[in-house]
Chains A and B, each alone.
Chain A
Amino acid sequence: MSLAMLKVMLKAALKEKTMREITDKEILDFVKAHIAFGKDLQGILQIKEVNISVVGDVNGNIGGNVVGDIIGDVWGNVEGDVCGDVGGDVRGSVIWDVYGKVLGKVHGAVCGNVKGKDNV
């Protein structure tokens, strides 16, 4: 058995143990207080809004805004603005403006102006 497989099994077992310790009532009360659900046209349940932090990852798209920090990577695109800083790299393009500084390289072109004035 590979180490990766063992890790997956261990994670699944840990999840099951953790989830067993939490009662249905606790989950239901929590979910009803913090998550809004809806159904699509086919009647399939989906999450419409999450009104609390997600301590770990979101393995899917977010259709609306993230009104908080993303303490990790975004593995897809951001269709709107990033109102704060990007602590790492932007692997794609920035279609509109960067209001702040770029501390690393720009591998592509800058199609607008560079207005910096604070000397290094």
Chain B
Amino acid sequence: MSEITDKEILDFAREYITFGKDLQGILQIKEVNCSIHGNVKGNTGNIFGNVYGDVRGNVIWDVRGTVDGNVKGDVKGSIEGDIFGIVGGDIFGNVEGDIVGDIAGDIYGIVGGDIVGGVEGDVFGNVKGDVKGSVKGKDYA
């Protein structure tokens, strides 16, 4: 910070950051119109760019791109792409692609909708809906 003058900081702040005051007159950041190269240790509104690290809290609305890591909580909407890892909880909607791994629970209860593609692994629970394709494994019924 020693190489940066107050004038530089002030000019930068006035150009790229919008400030406001709350009802108690406390200064706050209303908008940041440039990239932040490190962390944000607080909440934000929309982010019109990428987050290269983690989001340690929740994302209240959508992630319009890809999540390259894990989602440790729930996804309350849909996932329009693929899930390359495990789903530790239930899927209440349809799975329109394949499930390449196993399903450890019941399909009716655990995957609430249809699986439009194939299940390449085993199903350890019950299938309470229709199987429109073939079952090529052992029949334990």
Task: Known A31-B13, A79-B68, A90-B71; judge A98-B83 contact (CB<8 A).
Answer: yes
Question: How many residues on chain B are close to A (CB under 8 Å)?
Answer: 104
Q: How many angstroms between the C-alpha atoms of A19 and B13 in the bound complex?
A: 11
Please pick, from A18, A65, A71, the residue contacting B60 in the complex, using a CB distance under 8 A: A71
Q: Are B59 and A74 in contact (CB under 8 A)?
A: yes
Q: Say what secondary structure dominates the interface of chain A.
A: loop
* A27 beta carbon closer than 8 Å to chain B: yes
A residues 86-116 in Cβ contact with B at 8 Å? 86-116
Q: Most B CB atoms within 10 A — which of A64, A115, A116?
A: A116
Q: Are B58 and A69 in contact (CB under 8 A)?
A: yes
Q: Are B89 and A100 in contact (CB under 8 A)?
A: yes
Q: Are B76 and A88 in contact (CB under 8 A)?
A: yes
Q: How many angstroms between the C-alpha atoms of A42 and B67 in the bound complex?
A: 32
Considering only CB atoms, which chain B residue lies closest to A118 in the complex? Answer: B90
Q: Are B32 and A64 in contact (CB under 8 A)?
A: no
Q: Could you list which residues of chain A lie within 8 angstroms of chain B, going by C-beta atoms? A: 15, 18-19, 21-22, 24, 26-28, 30-32, 34-39, 45-120
Q: Could you list which residues of chain B lie within 8 angstroms of chain A, going by C-beta atoms? A: 1, 3-4, 6, 8-10, 12-14, 16-21, 27-106, 108-113, 117, 121
Closest 8 CB pairs of A and B: A93-B81, A92-B66, A109-B97, A53-B42, A104-B78, A116-B90, A72-B46, A119-B109
10 more CB-based (< 8 A) A-B contacts, given A66-B51, A106-B83, A118-B109: A32-B1, A48-B36, A60-B33, A93-B66, A102-B92, A109-B82, A110-B97, A112-B100, A112-B101, A119-B110
